[in-house]
Amino acid sequence: MVISTTLWACSDTGSYTATGTITVIEMGKDGYTATLNTGNGQQVNAVISRINMANSNQYRQLQQGEQVTVVGDSTRIGDLISIRVMEIKNP
């Protein structure tokens, strides 16, 4: 018997920008994931790691409640958008 599962994901080839308020921070091995609430009910996972930053000097630890704009490559799985952050900006 063979059981197969298909996971549909769509990757955007250009850069994706999201602005929102950080609601959750989850620390990881090489950085962290910040969940942004964009204000229109959408949540975006921003995966932040020094190695993925366009300029490693721009890497910083964001704080819960902080408003921020992130730019990077995106992947969508269902309704969830994840961004591999390459740039952090003040909104």
Would you say residue 4 lies in a domain?
no
Would you say residue 20 lies in a domain?
yes
Each as own residue / partner, the long-range contacts of residues 55-61 (CB below 8 Å, 24 or more positions apart, any chain) are 55/87, 58/87, 58/88, 59/31, 59/88, 60/88, 61/32
Would you say residue 63 lies in a domain?
yes
Would you say residue 81 lies in a domain?
yes
Q: Which domain holds residue 22?
A: 16-89
Would you say residue 11 lies in a domain?
no
pTM above 0.85, yes or no: no
Using pLDDT thresholds of 50, 70 and 90, give the confidence band for residue 2. Answer: very low
Can you give the CATH number for the domain in which 74 is found?
2.40.50.140
Domain count, the chain: 1
Would you say residue 2 lies in a domain?
no
Would you say residue 6 lies in a domain?
no
Using pLDDT thresholds of 50, 70 and 90, give the confidence band for residue 14. Answer: low
Would you say residue 84 lies in a domain?
yes
User: Which pLDDT score, from 0 to 100, does residue 4 have?
Assistant: 38
User: Which pLDDT score, from 0 to 100, does residue 6 have?
Assistant: 36
